[in-house]
Structure 1
Amino acid sequence: MTTAQHPLPSGFGAASTAEEVIKGVDLTGKVAIVTGGYSGIGLETARVLGAAGAEVVVPARDLQRAREALQDVPGAEAEYLDLLDPASIDAFAEKFLGSGRPLHILVNSAGLMATPLTRDARGYEVQFATNHLGHFQLVARLWPALVAAGGARVVAVSSRGIRFADVDFDDLHFEHRPYEPFAAYGQSKTANALFAVELDRRGRTDGVRAFSVHPGIIIDTGLIKHVDPEIIRASGTVDEAGRPIRDPERQWKTVQQGAATSVWCATSPQLSGVGGVYCENCDVSPLVTPETEAAWYAGEETPGVLPHAVDPEAAARLWEASERLTAG
């Protein structure tokens, strides 16, 4: 069983930018939180939401860097948060809840990719801990503000990295299997997608809808700093001088194009009454079927989401495991 993955169609596409998809949307009086909102596609997401009138809050480990990056986002706030530190997540959420503001939009854009094996203070593998568990705890703590919005959206930035791995419930933290950076990344990105499925199921009666997104391949951000340059060159996404090659139909996007699907999911009236789906290229992704799987793996230009990343039973199981892992 999987979620209903049916493209609308939206009228937008791979080359659409965040500014284009939000055109005509007025966010005056709305409050948005964007993790990772001071660099890469997170910064573009924060900028565009702010330009549409939203009050934007950006959690950050490096407050000085965040405040400098957000200078061109009028009224944006930077507040301390470390997704690997449960106490700091609680403190951030407590401060936000103390302000009495509802939370209309939460975009979970912060993340790590293909890092060497590292564990946090709890012994958790850091890609899973940062990309999934930190955001899981953040949403749980901010729940009263999301409900108070009377119609909120949570966007989990996943990736086509879901192809690298399913969630290994028997060994989430690579304690009993060899560590492979991209397998750990893939597990965390699959977790992001599954999180949106179960969050939407649990939240829809309270007006909270959730989406996961594949932003595209945007290599001129800090996300790829741990990736071997030879792997990047072999991918064909850079030219001989190391400059990014832009080809949105193959998912090789600019930052502006990479932020578009997150912004579309967070704001588009086209998604009224919809949730729990994986999206890309500013539309709901089709489901990869046995007939299309070979083409999907062979070509980045083939859209779609693998069934394991939108499986409601796996999503419910992940939710229960995440509650246990973040309880203390």
Structure 2
Amino acid sequence: MPDAQALFSLHDVSVRYPIRRGFFQRVVGHVGAVDGVSFDLRRGETMALVGESGCGKSTLGRAILRLEQVADGTIKATGKPAATRKDLARKAQVVFQDPLGSLDPRWTIGNLIGEGIDVHGTARGAERDSIVRDLLKQVELPASAFHKFPHQLSGGQQQRVAIARALAMRPELIVLDEATSALDVSVQAQILNLLKDLQAEYNLTYLFISHDLTVVGQFADRVAVMYLGRIMEMGDAADVLSAPRHPYTRALLASSLKVDPDMRIDRVPLLTGDVPSPRNPPSGCRFRTRCPQAQAGCAELRHRMVPAPNGRETAACLANGDL
């Protein structure tokens, strides 16, 4: 049953890309980037999506924003089907990993931040410029940035512009797609603190897409661990990262820096081998081909989420005694 405070609800969402061949580009198959994902994004929370590169994190974020077409399942906003992409822009915005790549180098910062205001006609002239200057102040940029161009700013300042641009539409959800991974550690901390302050002020919901479990442990309220298009484990970030239940989550944590220096992580074999092709994923548990605890029955195991303590959910796993 969807959470009463859910801002967005995902139910069995799948995204597939067609494989085309030949002169006429006939569709000869599909690549499943996201396969049967379900969860709620709750008002005012930070939900993190973590996993290895290519697991489907960014694709799922783009599907929520309707930048990718959903093949199966539904994504509902506050209990209703998502509106058109233009209408959805008022509710959900995105901040990308590379701010400079997402900002038109020919436009001034004032015009970049004010673009959404211009498109939707929410303010004009002096009122519009006043809103943009207020946004610059909110993201802690000097007023002089209004007339500058993106290349005249540092990487951290460019990301602040991207955040201000997202805020211009007063959204309820912001998808942060690796938004801090390209920044220096000190700048990263400043941006994360800014995002927390903005969240507290505007009751924002964040979908935080990242591969950095240390940052996730400090920033997220809940976390969903993805592997090859499916959720392997989901729950409160502190619980999942301190006591992972699924073998993939344990292996992922063992392969990364510790989230907490005082946290003990049982030693498990590090992840080895390549992630299987999403065009032809393994049967049963998709992690079985790399899992140190794989059993013969894993090839036949049906993917389903099993309730765990403290409201967590874990993909069915024979190593955990799930049948």
**Normalized against structure 1, the TM-score is what?**
0.31
Q: Which has the higher contact order (CA 8 A, sep 6+)?
A: 1
- Higher share of residues assigned strand: 2
Larger radius of gyration: 2
**Higher helix content, 1 or 2:** 1
TM-score by length of 2: 0.31
